[in-house]
Every structure is written in structure tokens, then in C-alpha cells.
Amino acid sequence: MKKRILNKTKLCTVVLLTLLNFVVEGLGNNTEKNFQPVPPDQMSGILTMISNETQSNYDKIKIWQGKVDATTGIIYEGTEAERVLERVFKNKTDGVGQVPKKVKRLSESTVEFAVNCDRGLFFDKKFYRSPLRYTDPNRGRVLGTKRIVGSTTTIATPEYRITNAPFIKRKDVIITRKAVKEKRASKESRPTFRRDIFDPRIEAIDGRAFRGSFFFLIDYIEKHGEFRIDGQSLRIEKRVAGTTTEYRIEIPSPQKNPGEFIFTTMIFNNDKGFNITSSETRRPDGKLFQKAVWEYEAINGVYLPTRTMIQTFQGENAELGSERECIYTNLKLNQAIPEESFTYKNLGLQNGDKFIDKTLDKDYIFQDGNLIPSIKKN
């Protein structure tokens, strides 16, 4: 009798554990199902709200100082990149042996920045924490590099830009630098980190780029009642967990070939001021094309990114093609910056360095904190 009772107890325990395991697995598998579809008549209002919230956060950034450590990996491979691959191998690496089928370039850099947004003043100092590294990932071979570790400092105002960069190198060592002051074109009134100067708002808060798409979607919905193209519709889903509200938005974009679409899925979180926290873009075949994440910190009611990661994928199997991770530290928001920070005195010039002012067609020599006019040779 005791054995029967014991066996029943064991059986109940096993059944209970099985049920608990099933419930736990079920909850884990149903996490995504917590997102609920939003009716079409609410979509325009949600898009408008997210757009306004992110713009409001962006507009509160008046003065921004900090440091960003960036790690960037780029892979060159495939028939489409053969010429680039060969050029990189011969010009950037030691160029020993045959050109590999794949080359990976890894760079680790740091940018110290200061921005006065209202006055259009920018300062950045970029330097590499280590030499560029080129490898053949297929064979684990180190390819070497021809580039030395250096730094570049740039200052920009609405009228001009000054860049202090290596001037003379000897045996892979920088022995002097040269600063050049140039007039800025009117089209550069909004500088970008790619072509003009490091603008942390564009580099780190790239999620603002979606606002243009949102305006188009809002206008389309208000005219047609919904966004639907060739059978593909805009999807907005909402998930609420306690005090956290998330929106998942999937936007279809038609391609050149009829019936082909790429899909971009973005997530916005009210705990982050409805700023974007992740984004995925998939090709018509469903494979990843780009993936990005943003992490934030609230400083005086403004959400500033502390980490960003952007990955791109390439080739038939959508393998990782590039990856850039940025870690933001020493962040200061809307604190006064000394005027001298945006002058030539903050370029890191040393005695004897050249300063070429193309706006005045004059040359100078930096000496003891001042610019001494130099005599041009005919």
C-alpha cells in the first residue's frame, strides 16, 4: 500500500514538473505574441507621436561633450569586390604573397568631441588606439599594415573649417603637423561626420533618419486610409508590459523588380523617450541586409546614446560584411564650453607647426601659443 502511495506521489511530481516546464516553454515561445496589431485608423497618430517625441529629444541637445570609442570591422570579398580587394591588399597591407579571397580590416579609434549646436560650432579629435589590422580570416593570416597610428583634430564654424593632420612622416613616425583653414561651402551648413566633421547627433542618433519615411507614411495614410502597395501593408504592433510600452513597425519598400520588397522593422520604447532601440532590414529573399541597436542614458531628461551597433550583411548567404560598434562615455549635456575650445589654440599645435589660412591666403608658424606670419617664398 505504501509503495502504491509513493508511486502515485512520484507520478504526480513528474506530471507537475512536466506541466511547469511546458508552461515556462510556452511563455518563452509566446513572448513575441505579446505584440498586438494596431488598427489602421490609429497608425497615423502613433507615427506622429513617435516622430514628435524623438524630435523633441533631439532638439533639447544644445551643447554636447563626450568621448566615443569606435571599433569598425570591414570584410572585402567576392567577385564584385575583386578590384577593391586587390587594391586594399597591395596598397594598405604588406602585400606579401597572393591576394587572398577575403580580407578583414579592423580599426579601433577614439573621438573626443564638443558641439555647440545653436552656434554651429564643432570640435573633434580622432586618434587610433592601435594600428589598423588586416587579416585573411580564411587562413588566419596577419597581412600587416602600411598605415601608422596618428591623430587628426578638426574645428568647424558656420564660416570655416580647420584641420590639423600629419604633414611630414619619417620612418613611419610623424615629425610635424600642418593645420589648414578653409572656407566652408554653403551646402556644408549642416556638417556630417562623414564628409565634414564628426557630428555626434548624426553619428549616434541616426534613428532620426526614419522621420522622413514617417512623414511620407502619415501623408499617405491620411489620403488613402491605409498604407498598402501591391498587396504589402504597413504593420504596427503594440506591446505593454507594466509601465513599458513598445511599438514594432514594419515598413515595406518596393524594389525595381515587380513584386519584390525589402522590409524594415523598427522598435520604439517609451522607457527611452520613444527613441528607436533596434532596426532590421531584410532583402526580398528574407535574409538580413542591415541590423542596428541603440542603448541610451537619460541625462537631465534627455536620452543620449551610450552604445550603438550597426551591422551589414552581404552575398548570397547574407554573411557579415561590416560592423561598427560605438561606446559613448564622459557625456556632458548643455554645460558651457570655453570659447577657446573652438579656436586654433585647441588644435594641439606644437612650436614650429605650419598654419595655412586659405581664407586669407596667408601662412603662419605656430609659436608659444600664437600664430606668427611667415614669409612666402616666390
Give tens-digit pLDDT for 167-182: 655 555 666 678 999 9
Residue 11 in this model has a pLDDT that exceeds 50: no
End-to-end, the C-alpha distance of the chain in Å comes to: 115
Least confident of 90-99, 205-214, 350-359: 205-214
Report the candidate in 316, 249, 322 with the shortest Cα–Cα distance to residue 285: 316
| pTM for this entry | 0.80
- Give the model confidence (pLDDT) of 200-230 as tens digits: 887 666 545 677 788 899 999 999 988 998 8
pLDDT of residue 256: 83
What amino acid occupies position 163? T
Least confident of 126-130, 191-195, 211-215: 191-195
Contact of 261 with 255, CB cutoff 8 Å: yes
Residue 19 in this model has a pLDDT that exceeds 50: no
Least confident of 130-134, 143-147, 150-154: 143-147
pLDDT of residue 174: 62
**E-state strands within 97-150:** 102-116, 121-128, 133-136, 141-142
Contact of 146 with 113, CB cutoff 8 Å: no
Question: pLDDT band at residue 137, thresholds of 50, 70 and 90?
Answer: confident
- More confident position, 261 or 94: 261
Q: pLDDT over 70 for what percent of the chain?
A: 80
Which residues, 6+ apart, have CB-to-CB distance to 123 below 8 Å? 113, 114, 115, 153, 154, 155, 341, 342, 346
Least confident of 26-35, 290-299, 317-326: 26-35
pLDDT of residue 145: 79
Angle value at C-alpha 120, between 202 and 116, nearest 5 degrees:
80
Residue 135 in this model has a pLDDT that exceeds 60: yes
pLDDT of residue 80: 54
- More confident position, 13 or 1: 1
d(CA 219, CA 189): 28
Residue 366 in this model has a pLDDT that exceeds 60: yes
